[in-house]
Structure 1
Amino acid sequence: MKKVILSLALFLCFLNIRAQEIPRFNPDTIRTITLDSIITKGARLNVERFINAVINDTSFYQAFRNMKKYTFIAENRVYTYDKKNKIDGKIYRKIKHNNNGPYKMEYLVKEDNGRVYKKNGKYQLYTVEMFDYIFMNAYNSDFIPNAPMTNGKGGGTNESYKDKLKTLIFNPGRPIKGLPFIGNKTQIFTANMRQYYDYTFYTATYLDSIPVYRFKVAVKPDLSSWTKDGLMIKELVTIFDQRNFEILGRYVDMKYSNMLFDFDVQMNIEMSYFDEVKLPTKITYQGNWDYPFKKEERASFLVVHKDYKLGTGK
């Protein structure tokens, strides 16, 4: 259980404009958003509308659930790093998820290089297992062979904590009870926490054609170092489609350290439309985490989904 709790701390994590990215190889080189101009305070939109949308949105997670209806190609890349941030392991999967009839998964490419596995055949990094769990209820990324499916209501303590983590990713800003050490640090929209953050929103263009709003919440630069160190979420960026105010992207930069653990994480999730249905197209992650008596884990992920076609089902 301790392993899962501390792993949650790093993985609470979401767009291509990043605050303090970990200085090493980044597999994500695709630029998807171009800023146009900042929206003035006198405009029709205001901070409260954006905050309410971030807290109450359900369409972001539903987009992952919708993937079960589609046949698509997934390209999954994982890179692991040594203490000098040099790549020491690579995992690559190109998979066709086929939902025409009974679900089938076909490997198109499967490659592993470097320090990837333990002697018992399991992956070196628990981070990979956590990443897989967060999204496997919506699709099988195949980083964990034969991973069990859950409904989020049972399965023991490990699954309970992992499900809390899913809430943090898909509903940032909400309180998370039962998450030791850091549960109250996720509530960045409370009256008390707002004094530590700047809120800005811009008009922008997403994927060269979609008009969007970019809502950014970032730690105020003039705070004392002691205060900054106590704030877990350093930056939260949300991309809204101007036409329907649905969320198309989310980026989180998180960093925290205490006597029990240290983590430094950035995660980015992006969506796009396929026949007017919103579906995930890219997930990226950069993260370091460490806690006593365990090997420090350093990893980055790039998951790209493409060629969506509505399946015929069973």
Structure 2
Amino acid sequence: MVKKIIFSLFFITISYCSFAQQPRYNPDTIRTIIIDSVVNIHSHKLNVQDFIDAVLADTGFYQAFRNMKKYSFIGENYIYTYDKNNRINGKVYRKFKRIEANGKQTIDYIAKRDSGNIYKKDGKYQLYTVNMFDYIFMNAYKTGYGSGSMISGKADSKDQSYKDKLKILIFAPGHRVDGIPFISSKTEIFSPDMRPLYDYQFARGTYLDSIPVYRFRVVQKAGTSNGDVVIKELTTIFDMRTFQILGRYVNIQYHNMFIDLDVKMNMELDKFNGDLVPTKVTYQGDWNIPFHKDEKASFLIVQKEYMK
């Protein structure tokens, strides 16, 4: 059984502007990786390109979310939304058991609590961000994703197109995300034009108390103009024994007269019954794009106690 995740939630103060703001809630307090040391990858018979190739070729992260449809598990979702002063104005809590039996899936809710400004009059979420992530994760809970490629195909609607772009950023970082003005070419961080703008950092650590891992960080190079990069950091956690990807952190920031983005996502996997499965996803984001109001939200999504 996947190791149970024990977590707590607490407040931290964030200096969000040049003046004092209300505290911003940080749901990501689960510490699962302990860094032992910085490593010389050449002594491990690896090089930068080995890690880049593994990131670009990986399909395991996407497959891990598809694997959820095979199992029963306990899930807990915390969603917080914020006003312009970073004060919480909406909360969603869900604790549920997803049951897989004879090819049929059901979700039994153990607890459901909503408060604040979450829904529109028609019952849909107020924030497009929440709607997008509900699609990303609840879709996996209910049916599992399809077997198609993450970076190909044509969306049949504008809304679906936005969702597909989000899926590429989550499951296939480093690839080009077409159709986003000013940003598309900047998401391809390993291209010849973008590589000189980043530094690469390596460390060795322990994940979930027992798994030896490499941490491969791609971070914006000091002195690089903020307008030149969109992905400020992409950190990938590799199982040292198998080179499978077990964790991913991405920090996306971009600001101009049309788009204002500041998004941080962290996703972690573990093995159950020989399959990689998600155990934790966290998100903190502020974004403002054309035709949508400014949105601020944070999520903590936990899957635990996987069962056959």
TM-score normalised to structure 2 length: 0.85
**Which of 243, 246, 254 in structure 2 is aligned with 1:245?**
243
Instruction: Name whichever of 178-187 and 201-210 sits farther off.
Output: 178-187
Contact 1:21/1:266 (<8 A) preserved? no
What's the counterpart of residue 33 of structure 1? 33
Q: Secondary structure at the match of 1:104?
A: strand
**2:106, 2:65 → 1: CA distance?**
18
Q: Distance in 1 between matches of 2:74 and 2:261?
A: 32
- Pairwise CA RMSD of aligned residues? 2.3
> 2:3 — aligned with what?
none
CA change 1:157–1:219 in 2 (3 A) is: same
Q: Distance in 2 between matches of 1:296 and 1:91?
A: 19
Q: Which amino acid aligns with 2:33?
A: I
Deviation at 1:61, TM superposition (A): 0.6
Cα displacement (A) at 1:178: 3.0
Contact 1:70 1:309 in 2 (8 A): yes
What CA distance in whole angstroms lies between the structure 1 residues aligned with 2:113 and 2:290?
A: 32
Q: Which residues in structure 2 correspond to 1:222-261 (within 5 Å)?
A: 222-223=223-224, 227-261=225-259
Which fold has the larger relative contact order, with Cα–Cα distance below 8 Å and residues 6 or more apart in sequence? Answer: 1
Aligned to 1:266: 264
Inter-CA distance 162–41: structure 2 relative to 1 (3 Å threshold) = same
Q: Aligned in 2, Cα 1:60/1:149: closer, same or farther, shift over 3 Å? A: closer
Judge conservation of contact 1:268–1:283 (CA < 8 Å) in 2.
Answer: yes
Letter matched to residue 75 of structure 2: A
Following TM superposition, by how much is the alpha carbon of 1:293 offset from its aligned partner in structure 2, in angstroms? Answer: 6.0
Q: CA deviation at 1:259?
A: 1.6
Counterpart in 2 of 1:107? 109
Q: Which runs of 5+ in 1 are unaligned?
A: 1-19, 142-147
The aligned counterpart of 2:71 is 70
SS of alignment partner, residue 237 of structure 1 = strand
TM-score by length of structure 1 reads: 0.84
Kept after mapping to 1: 8 A contact 2:232/2:252: yes
Asked if 1:54 is matched to 2:55, the reply is yes
For 1:241 and 1:198, how far apart are their aligned partners in 2?
A: 22
The within-5 A match list for 1:65-104 is 65-101=66-102, 102-104=104-106
Unaligned stretches of 5+ residues in structure 2: 1-13, 17-22
1:123 to 105, 122, 125: 125
Deviations 1:101-128 (A, max 9, x none): 3211111100001111223322111101
Question: Matches of 1:54 and 1:36 in 2, distance apart?
Answer: 22
**Mapped contact 2:41–2:202 kept (Cα < 8 A):** no
Give the direction of change, closer, same or farther, for the CA distance of 1:65–1:41 in structure 2 (3 Å limit): closer
Q: Give the C-alpha shift of residue 282 in structure 1.
A: 0.4
What letter matches 1:86 in structure 2? R
Q: Is the 8 A contact 1:161 1:179 kept in 2?
A: no
- The amino acid across from 1:122 in the alignment is K
* Alignment: residue pair count: 282
Find the aligned partners of 1:83 and 1:156 in 2 and give their Cα distance.
Answer: 30
Deviations 1:260-309 (A, max 9, x none): 12010000000011133210000000000124564311000000001101
Identity %: 57
Is the 1:203–1:213 Cα contact (8 Å) retained in structure 2?
A: yes
